[in-house]
Amino acid sequence: MWKKWLGKLGGTEDKSHLYQVLNEKRIPKHIAIIMDGNGRWAQKRGMPRAFGHREGAETLKKIVRFSSDIGVGALTAYAFSTENWKRPAEEVGLLMKLIAEYLDGNIEEMHQNNVRVRFIGKTEELSDGLRHKIEKAQTRTANNTGLVLNLAVNYGARTEITRAVQLIASQVRDGLIKPEDITENTIQQNLYTGDLPDPDLLIRPSGDFRISNFLLWQCAYTEFWYTETNWPDFTPELLVQAIIDFQNRERRFGGLKK
Ligand code: FPP
């Protein structure tokens, strides 16, 4: 399927060598992305930060299409953290608007591509209007069996883990489970991503090397990949490079070399 992207990746240089080394049998089941560097991208061009976010939303569209096409199982994209409320109200408002526009403008295409859209985070704190769109998008795509797109909005991993602890404590209080029966699996299942495998690969563009309160539990053995490129300039070609690097890494999960 991904071969149809050959020649569509921009630039004149032949990209076919990238595909030839992509092992179709080891495509990551779950990729997490911190969509960083939108503000810097805009500022470098003398534009307001909003332009960077807008362009970042365009990049997300391309990456979702491409990931779906090459058979990635799940893509979790960090769109707005529980800490991002500290930003000026104008920027927060713009980001919320972009998320709403993203749903309005893309849900049908994603549905046609068998993408299942889900939101992770405290969506109950978002505006009624946005929550309504989220509900509609999730319901529309609920039965799709292709790529699971998790959009992390008002998401923070510490909040997610705290919520899991609260859910488990309620189950103990109600006599459904005993404290000694709580396992790592119990915690994993009570996270927003409980039904998904942990990310195989975490991509952070824009040259920062932080996890920024993203998927802390789930990333215990995730392979990290960084690039200096800001998110608005991120391309399917860079995703291919990240996947090739991932495919050439040896994952030992604390064990020894095979
Ligand atoms: C971090 O870069 C990015 C964000 C806080 C927002 C990410 C949002 C989008 C890509 C668009 C909207 C989302 C969807 C789902 C359509 P930054 O702004 O902190 O960049 P900087 O570090 O260069 O300032």
CATH topology of domain 28-155+198-247: Undecaprenyl pyrophosphate synthetase (3.40.1180)
**pLDDT band per the 50, 70, 90 thresholds, residue 153:** very high
Average pLDDT of span 213-231: 98
The reply to whether 163 sits in an annotated binding site is no
DSSP string over 110-148 = HHHTTPEEEEES-GGGS-HHHHHHHHHHHHHHTT--S-E
Residues 106 and 99: their CA atoms lie apart, in Å, by 11
**pLDDT band per the 50, 70, 90 thresholds, residue 6:** low
* Nearby residues of 29 by Cβ (< 8 Å), 6 or more positions away: 72, 73, 74, 197, 200
Catalytic positions are 36, 84
- CB of 239 within 8 A of CB of 64? no
pLDDT tens-place string over residues 41-90? 999 999 999 999 999 999 999 999 999 989 999 999 999 999 999 999 99
- Rg of the Cα trace of the chain? 19
Q: Ligand 1 pocket by C-beta < 6 Å: which residues?
A: 35-40, 53, 56-57, 60, 79, 84, 95, 98-99, 102, 151, 206, 231
User: How far is ligand 1, taken at its centre, from the CA of residue 67, in Å?
Assistant: 19
The reply to whether 83 sits in an annotated binding site is yes
Angle between helices 49-70 and 236-247 (to 10 degrees): 50
Nearest to 164, CA basis, from 216, 199, 200: 216
pLDDT tens-place string over residues 12-44? 455 566 566 678 889 999 999 999 999 999 999
**What predicted TM-score, i.e. pTM, was given to this entire model?**
0.93
> Which part of the chain has CATH 3.40.1180.10?
28-155+198-247
**pLDDT band per the 50, 70, 90 thresholds, residue 252:** confident
Average pLDDT of span 152-171: 98
